Chain A
Amino acid sequence: MTQRNVRVFRVETPLKQRACSIMATPNRPLSPHLQVYRLPLTALMSITHRITGVGLTLGALLLTWWVTAAAYGETQYAQVQGLLGTWLGQLVLLGFSFALFYHLCNGLRHIFWDFGRYFELEQVRRTDAAVLVGSVALTVATWVQVVF
């Protein structure tokens, strides 16, 4: 296997040696790196938006499965409804609904950001909370409607 992208530079010139000694100095500020940096809430919410987006794309398969089964007939539809009715099916649907509401609420915030609104740190903290409360509230409200 060839290592095309790896190049080894030898430290030769005094300038390079000085550059290397500066970089090796301890206690210099490090750039944020995933393994050494505790992500703030806003960053966690940003990556959650992506994760829920990918999850919803996979979850769309469920929607296709559901409507396609209905097109094939009553037996197939009952099979899907039966599987979705199991505890595992309900758990998947619970996760799906939360992902949907989270992506919806945070997506709405992204649209406000696109218009240049809510960029101040305090506003971002408040909308962080609003997105979290909103998505949990919508999930709970939906399941209360389904169960009762």
Chain B
Amino acid sequence: MSLRSALGHARGLGAAKEGVHHWWLQRLTAIALIPLTLWLVASIIGLSGTGYEEFLFWFGKPINSTLMILFLGVGFHHAQLGMQVVYEDYISSHGTRTAMTILTKFACYGLATLSIVSILTVAFKG
């Protein structure tokens, strides 16, 4: 038996009016990461045992730099969403939990930006 009203059920929104937004984004990024991860693994296998020139050549191709930027952006986004849930489940102190969430989100977006700028730098070199 559902305790939700018919209207609430149809809208799928909670009291905060954003309902399943976090859950949805975590799934959306997860689905996007399936092909991106397989591509990244294949790329790393191809680049293993090769030198700098091959790295520049590989990411000099627009398709590869695009896929890498997507992996980094979507991957770090997925990471900070997941870390937030872990904190929410295990850290009972509201202050610590909020501080850790903010720190993780800042770190993830900072690292994503650094990685993306690096790939662009490589792409323009190669």
A residues apposed to B, CB below 8 Å: 50, 53-54, 56-57, 60-61, 63-64, 67-68, 70-71, 74, 77-78, 97, 100, 104, 107-108, 110-111, 114, 142, 145-146
Given contacts A57-B104, A71-B119, A107-B30, 4 further A-B contacts (CB under 8 A): A68-B115, A145-B45, A146-B48, A146-B49
Binary contact readout B35-70 vs A (1 if CB under 8 angstroms, 0 otherwise):
001000100010011011001100100000000100
What CA separation (Å) do A15 and B115 show in the bound complex? Answer: 64
Interface residue SS majority, chain B: helix
B111 — nearest CB in chain A belongs to which residue?
A64
A114 and B33 alpha carbons, distance in the complex (Å): 17
CA separation between A146 and B111, bound complex, in Å? 27
Q: Which residues of B contact A97 (CB under 8 A)?
A: 41
Interface size class of B (residues with CB under 8 A): 20 to 34
Q: Pick from B27, B30, B111: contact of A60, CB below 8 A.
A: B111
Contact assessment for A108 and B34 in the assembled complex, using a CB-CB cutoff below 8 Å: yes
Q: How far is the CB of A137 from chain B (nearest CB, A)?
A: 13
Q: Is the CB of A104 within 8 A of B122?
A: no
Which residues between 12 and 33 of chain B lie within 8 Å of chain A, taking CB atoms? 27, 30-31, 33
- CB contacts (< 8 Å) of B111 on chain A: these are 60-61, 64
Contact B75 A71 (CB under 8 A): no
Instruction: Given A78-B52, A104-B34, verify A67-B115 contact (CB < 8 Å).
Output: yes
Stretch at the interface among B2-10, B76-84, B95-103: B76-84
Chain B residue at minimal CB-CB distance from A75: B52
| 12 cross-chain CB contacts under 8 A | A57-B104, A60-B76, A63-B115, A67-B72, A67-B115, A67-B118, A68-B114, A68-B115, A70-B118, A70-B122, A78-B52, A107-B33
**A70 and B52 contact, CB distance less than 8 A:** yes
Q: Quick check: A64 and B114 within 8 Å, CB to CB?
A: yes
B117 at the binding interface (Cβ < 8 Å): yes
Q: Is B79's CB under 8 angstroms from A57's CB?
A: yes
Give the shortest distance, in Å, between A47 (CB) and chain B (any CB).
11
B97–chain A nearest beta-carbon distance, Å: 15
Interchain CB contact under 8 A, A77 and B55: yes
Q: Which of B51, B56, B86, B104 contacts A50 (CB 8 A)?
A: B86
**Complex Cα gap A68–B121 (Å):** 9
Closest CB in chain B relative to A21 CB, distance in Å: 31
The residues of B that contact A146 with a CB separation of less than 8 Å are 45, 48-49
